[in-house]
Amino acid sequence: MEISPIILFFRLLFLSITVTMMFAVVPNAVHAETWKVQIPTGSSMPESSVHFTPSEISVRFGDRVEWGNADSVVHTVTSGTLETGITTMFDSGHMDPGNRFSVLFSEKEAGEIKYFCTIHPWMTGIVNVVNLAADYNVFHNVGSDFSESPVDIVYKVQRNLVDVAVEPVRKSITFSFVGKIDDDKFVVYLPEELIKDPQSVFVDDKSITNYELKKTNGITTLTVILHEAAEQVKVVGVDVIGTSAPKKHVLINQMFGVTDKKFYERGDEIVISGEIKNPVQLYELTLDVIAPQGNTVYHKVIPLIDSTKFTETVSTSGVFRDFGEYRVKITGPSAKSLFLPFDFGIAPKEFKSPLKQMKTGTDSSDVICNEGLELFMKKSNGKAVCVKETTAEILIKRGWADDF
């Protein structure tokens, strides 16, 4: 599995004694925060300019992220992506308007975590879980204008860093700031994927010599003391991102899709959503739902009018007859067919314990046991119990209980 530059960066940091001291872990109870992400009104529309606000955040170990649904329709917050599928890290389930969902992140979740809405999968977001000291921050996707593999960088400065611009022709990286703070120490970690062998540094287009460069395991640490009026720092190297890496071959009409759940019962509605990447002469899709026996129980031609995204809702009522695994098959011209499996049946019902059922007035003989358990009655007091079959045989032999 390919390791992202930011994860590699954090591993390399711990090799340096100085950096290890700088990034010493502080107890989570002191610095734990709750970060709020909003699902705004209209975010379900593919053409909406915002879906999750903010769409990308960085949190530290022990921090909590809380999502709130301020839209007028149901959404989900589910770890994974449309392309790679759902992961098991977190899933809000269906969030009605006004509902909230939160996740506490720990060291186990360190790294980049992508998430999306399974009902509207063009809604995507990112949570970066990082082990940073309180005065360090992350600037995301540097070089995205010139490369398909942008880089995240870690930095420290008191004023606000508002932009990081890559200039491939000049082989330079320019950092732009807002705010006036004298003797402001700017520290930034530059992976060689972003810039190789920095040679010179400019502050507001003036070459300076009073800076410090340290290179360790492919990471160059730049330290510059900024005067009050400084607005830009430019770093020039022998190469920068986007100048030497060849463009990856991009396949046309790549289809990705997802169902909003993996298991459905009779009466449920199945929401099938997807997107086509790099479409060429693709005006419609064909969607079929195939039953366990191989027969097609639902067929629909979906026109793509000025959009590369689609959503289709299929009701299980009157359509699905057999229990088992179904498949959604999506096809289109010059595109590889997409198959999305899901299960249809009767979900096992969770019943309360016999004691709780009897406390609410249920007679002992009417107690219902959960799947895999059998109902017995204690001879001593006539109370109901639910036990496994092997245990039941032992209890009967010992004269402790009777089978109802």
Per-residue pLDDT of the chain (404 residues; tens, 9 = 90+): 455 555 555 544 443 323 333 333 333 344 578 999 999 999 988 888 889 998 888 888 889 999 999 999 999 999 999 988 889 899 999 999 999 999 999 888 888 899 999 999 999 999 989 887 778 888 888 998 888 788 889 899 999 999 999 999 999 999 999 999 999 999 999 999 999 999 999 999 999 999 999 998 889 999 999 999 999 999 999 999 988 655 555 677 888 999 999 999 989 999 999 998 877 778 889 999 999 999 999 999 998 877 788 999 999 998 898 999 999 999 988 888 999 999 999 877 778 888 888 888 888 888 888 877 888 888 888 888 888 877 877 777 777 876 55
77 and 124 part of one domain: yes
Pairing assessment for the beta strands 324-331 and 338-344 based on DSSP bridges: antiparallel
Residue 385, domain extent: 354-403
Residue 9 is assigned to a structural domain of this protein: no
Domain at 187, CATH number:
2.60.40
Which residues pair with residue 101 across a beta bridge? 67
Its sign, for the CA torsion 21, 23, 28, 33, is positive
CA distance 86 to 89: 9
CA distance 10 to 8: 6
292 and 224 part of one domain: no
Q: How many residues does the chain have?
A: 404
Judge residue 397's burial from the number of C-beta atoms within 10 Å of its C-beta, 0-12 exposed, 13-18 middle, 19 or more buried.
exposed
Q: Quote the number of domains for the chain.
A: 4
Q: Give, in order, the Cα–Cα distances in Å from 94 to each of 89, 119, 267, 310.
A: 16, 9, 16, 19
CA distance 153 to 155: 7
Is the pTM higher than 0.85? The answer reads no
Pairing assessment for the beta strands 269-277 and 309-315 based on DSSP bridges: antiparallel
Instruction: Supply the pLDDT for residue 30.
Output: 46
Residue 325 is assigned to a structural domain of this protein: yes
Residue 7 is assigned to a structural domain of this protein: no
Last-in-domain residue among 322, 344, 366 = 344
295 and 359 part of one domain: no
Residue type, 291: A
Residue 396 is assigned to a structural domain of this protein: yes
Instruction: Supply the pLDDT for residue 48.
Output: 84
34 and 118 part of one domain: yes
Q: How many CB atoms lie within 10 A of CB 122?
A: 21
Residue 14 is assigned to a structural domain of this protein: no
Residue 83 is assigned to a structural domain of this protein: yes
Pairing assessment for the beta strands 124-130 and 56-60 based on DSSP bridges: parallel
189 and 261 part of one domain: no
Residue closest to 331 by CA, chosen among 253, 269, 392:
253
219 and 312 part of one domain: no
Residue 109 carries which DSSP code?
Answer: G
315 and 286 part of one domain: yes
171 and 141 part of one domain: yes
119 and 157 part of one domain: no
Judge residue 18's burial from the number of C-beta atoms within 10 Å of its C-beta, 0-12 exposed, 13-18 middle, 19 or more buried.
exposed
Residue 11 is assigned to a structural domain of this protein: no
Residue 6 is assigned to a structural domain of this protein: no
Q: Contact 204/231 with Cβ under 8 angstroms?
A: yes
Instruction: Supply the pLDDT for residue 81.
Output: 92
225 and 281 part of one domain: no
146 and 236 part of one domain: yes
Instruction: Supply the pLDDT for residue 6.
Output: 53
274 and 360 part of one domain: no
Which residues pair with residue 276 across a beta bridge? 255
Domain at 74, CATH number:
2.60.40.420
Q: Contact 198/238 with Cβ under 8 angstroms?
A: no
